[in-house]
Amino acid sequence: MTVSASDNWIPTENGRLFARVWTPADSPVTGETIVLFHDSLGCVELWRDFPDQLARATGRRVVAYDRLGFGRSDPHPGLLSPSFISLEAATTVPLVLDSLGLGTIVPFGHSVGGGMAIATAARWPERCAAVITESAQSFIEDRTLAGIRAARAEFAQPGQMERLARYHGAKAPWVLNAWVETWLGPDFAHWNLDDDLRRLRRPALTIHGDRDEFGSLEQPERIVRETDGLARAVILDDCGHVPHREHASRVLDEVARFLDE
């Protein structure tokens, strides 16, 4: 199967967003468009070849975009609000969908992007057929905070910020601080996804590694437990925080099976 990719720019009141669309070209596109939500340090480029592989495995169009302040999108004008996850679903997602002419979607989020995917499906049920999360946090736990503190210490080492700057350019310090300061801040200490999960009426697949350094298995268990609709967890053995890179074939198989069902 051949997959073509096209780049797009989406205007917002605070700056432009960068988005890329992968479209299967050898056969008619079937099903809903999969929209990818990146993690706290992520961007379109850091998905690497996964969106292309996802389009091939599912026969569906795949979209990924850089949130404001990340990747090729314009700089963020200030600090992240403690409600930035729900705000992304409420304000940015409709702009992305309308700008790209997308109808029904399947939001698919990695890490904090998983929270955004759930918030999107809970807020816009008429536009979402299902929701997929990978390594999503559903509440704040000690392992999450310990992992962030360890990452902060690692990025303080020589050369580490340059790695981040390859993908975010001059915005790299903001990207790191937005993650660390928001998640470790007192205003975020009691955050959880419970309200969104209880409003979720679409089928949900939550994928999680058994060695995820940013979240225990209580994270996917809580997603399944609190979701009012049909939800299923897939736990990957010997897997950390990035299943789509560490166990790509298994993730692609699970997602394709879930969407076919």
pLDDT of residue 186: 94
What percentage of the chain has pLDDT greater than the value 70? 98
Question: Does pLDDT of 30 surpass 80?
Answer: no
Pairwise CA distance, residues 33 & 253, whole Å: 17
Q: What is the pLDDT of residue 31?
A: 77
pLDDT of 35 over the 90 cut = yes
List, for residues 179-221, the tens digit of each pLDDT value. Answer: 999 999 999 999 999 999 999 999 999 999 999 999 999 999 9
**Measured between alpha carbons, how far is 241 from 50 in angstroms, rounded to an integer?**
15
Strand order in the sheet with 204-209: 3-12, 15-24, 62-65, 33-37, 105-110, 131-134, 204-209, 231-236
Tell me how far CA of residue 151 lies from CA of 34, 85, 161, 192, in angstroms: 30, 21, 11, 22
Angle between helices 142-155 and 172-184 (to 10 degrees): 150
Domain encompassing residue 125: 3-260
Give me the residue label for tokens 């300061």.
181
Contacts of 183 (CB under 8 A, 6+ apart): 40, 140, 144, 145, 148
Q: What is the pLDDT of residue 121?
A: 97
In the chain, the number of structural domains is 1
Of residues 76 and 27, which shows the higher confidence score? Answer: 76
Whether residue 29 has pLDDT greater than 70: no
pTM, rounded to two decimals: 0.97
In 3D space, the residue among 96, 111, 115 whose CA is nearest the CA of residue 40 turns out to be 111
Whether the predicted pLDDT of 56 surpasses 70: yes
- Tell me the per-residue pLDDT of 224-236, one tens digit each, with 9 for 90 and over: 999 977 999 999 9
Average pLDDT over residues 5-11: 97
Residue 101 to residues 21, 32, 45, 94: CA-CA distances in angstroms?
A: 12, 12, 22, 10
Q: Could you tell me which of 90, 119, 127, 92 has the C-alpha nearest to residue 17?
A: 92
Q: What is the pLDDT of residue 228?
A: 78
Quick one: average pLDDT of 154-167? 93
CATH code of 123's domain: 3.40.50.1820
